[in-house]
Homo-oligomer: A and B are copies of this chain.
Amino acid sequence: MEILDGKIVSAKVLENIKNESSIIIEKAGRPPGLAVVIVGDDPASAIYVRSKERKARKLGFHSEVIESNSSVSDEELTSVIAKLNIDDKIDGILVQLPLPEKFDTWKYLDMIDPEKDVDRFHPVNLGKIMLGRTNIYPCTPSGIVRMLDEYNVDVTGMNCVVLGRSYIVGKPMASMLTNRNATVTICHSRTKNIPEILSRADLIVSAIGIPGFVKADMVKDGSILIDVGINRVDTREAAEEFCTSKEIEKFEKKGYAITGDIHPAAFEKSSFYTPVPGGVGLMTVAMLMDNTFRLFLARTGS
C-alpha cells in the first residue's frame, strides 16, 4: 500500500500556482482575487474560512472575507453577491456552506456569476461537468483527480464506487470519473447492498461522514481507497480504533481526534489510499486556490 500524500501533492499545486502566477500578475497589473461570504457563527465554517484566507494571502492573492451575522436580510446578502459579481478585483466568489437554515442556499449559489463561481456549484457549471465541457471542477473531486494523476493512476475501465450523492462531492465525482472512462456506481443511504458493491470496486471514494464505515472485509485486495470523510471522534476507544497514531496522540491533549470514513484495516489491503488527515482535505483547499487562479487567467485573458 502506498499513500496518496495530500501534503506533497497540495504543496506541489500551490508551488505551481506561485511559479506561474508571478509573471502573469505583473502583466495583469493585479493579483487573483478571492471573496468568501460567510453568514452566522458556525465554528467549523469560521476555521475553514480563515484557512482559505491564509492560503490565498500566502500566494499573494487579493482576499476578502465578507462576514454577516445570521440576522442579515435576504436583500443585504443578495446585494453582497451582486457587488462581488461586478467587482473587477474579484475572480472567485465562494459562499461558505452551510448557510444558516433560514436561507435558501440555491438562491445565493445561483446568483453567483458562473464565471466567478469558484466552488463550481452553479447548475450551469455542474451541467458542463456532466458534459465534460469544462476543466474547472468542484474542489474536492478535483483534488482527488489531481492526486490520482500525480501518482499515475489511470481510472479507464476501473469499477469505481462513489459513496454519497451530494452535489459537493459525490455527483460531480461520479461525472468526472465517468468522463475519464471509469465504470461508476453511486451508492447512498437507500442503497441495499453496499458491502457487496464495495467488494467488487477497484476504486472507492467515500464521502458519507461515518468513522470506520468502510471495513476491511468490504474491500478487495489492491483496491484504491479515497477517504473524503472528516469526522471527529470523542472517545479514546474510538480514537484507538479509527485514528492514526499521530491523531491518537492529539486525542490525549485535545480530547478529540479526526478520522475519515475508511477503517485503517481496510487501508492495509489497498494499493493506494488517502490518509485522514493529510489526504483529500489538504487537496480541497489547494484546488480552491487553483480554481481561483484559473478563473483569474480566464478573466484577464492570460
Contact = CB atoms under 8 A, between A and B. Distances in A.
Central interface residue in A127, A156, A178, by most chain B CB within 10 Å: A127
A104 to B, nearest CB: 12
A117 to B, nearest CB: 11
Contact of A127 (B122, B156, B178, B192): B122
A159 B191 CA distance: 8
A136 to B, nearest CB: 13
Contact of A192 (B128, B133, B183, B192): B183
Given A167-B131, A183-B197, A184-B185, A192 B157 contact: yes
Contacts of A106: 133
A128 B123 CA distance: 6
Contacts of A184: 185-186
A28 B271 CA distance: 64
Contacts of A126: 126-127, 130-131
Given A122-B127, A186-B184, A188-B183, A178 B159 contact: no
A122 B156 CA distance: 27
Interface string A97-122: 00000000010000000000000001
Interface in A3-36: none
Interface of A: 106, 122-128, 130-131, 133, 156-157, 159, 165, 167, 171, 175, 178, 181-188, 190-193, 197
14 contacts: A122-B127, A123-B123, A123-B127, A123-B133, A125-B127, A126-B126, A126-B131, A130-B171, A130-B175, A171-B178, A182-B190, A183-B188, A183-B191, A184-B185
Chain A to chain B: the 5 pairs with minimum beta-carbon distance, closest first: A123-B127, A127-B127, A126-B127, A181-B190, A124-B124
